[in-house]
Amino acid sequence: MSAGWRCLRRHRIDAVLYTSRHGELERNYRILHALATEQALSPTDFALSVHNSAVGNLTIAAQRPIVSSSLSAGRDTFQQGLCEAICLLQAGYQRVLMVDFDGHLPEFYHPYLPPAMPTWPYALALVIEAGEEWRCSTQRAAPGEEAELPQSLQFLRHYLQQSPAFTLTGERLQWQWSRS
């Protein structure tokens, strides 16, 4: 929530979107473990375990009635979040805050994850406005290997390196980015 909070304090934001592939999996694991071992459930863990709790808590803490949403779309969560942000801009919102994040993935789940999937926490907050600087097109592709970085951090790396064009691999699509 802190990445979003900092952006809300610095920018006039009209809409907020939180994207997360796994959401609060660490909290969900604690709940399931408590149930399996017949321990008391944490009311805080329970209340914050739903996918939209982070964005909801952000708008409550900001004491601003901001349009907010959250989504998860597997490997393409970041890219689908950008599609949602574009829809919000086309609906008339001027500045969309998009926070892509994942919490720590508990060790219990590691054997079931692709070998390269990151298990560490991260968050990237972007303030998105309408513009013509970037173009994105898609091309169908066979499912590929899991990347060592989430899509949002791959995007950030290319953005900071000022790459003129780059491709992010998704579940079934190649997302081809280029500067105008």
Instruction: Give the per-residue pLDDT at 91.
Output: 97
Closest to 7 in 3D by CA, of 95, 90, 120, 81: 95
Instruction: Give the per-residue pLDDT at 52.
Output: 65
Give 48-65 pLDDT, tens digit per residue. Answer: 666 666 777 777 777 788
Instruction: Give the per-residue pLDDT at 174.
Output: 94
Domain ranges (residues) in the chain: 2-132
Instruction: Give the per-residue pLDDT at 51.
Output: 61
Give 74-89 pLDDT, tens digit per residue. Answer: 999 999 999 999 999 9
DSSP 8-state code for residue 113? S
127 forms beta bridges with 97
Instruction: Give the per-residue pLDDT at 48.
Output: 63
> Element (H or E) spanning 26, and its range?
helix 25-36
CA distance 156 to 174: 17
Class of domain 2-132: alpha beta
pLDDT beneath 70: ranges in the chain: 1, 45-53
Instruction: Give the per-residue pLDDT at 124.
Output: 97
- The pTM score is 0.87
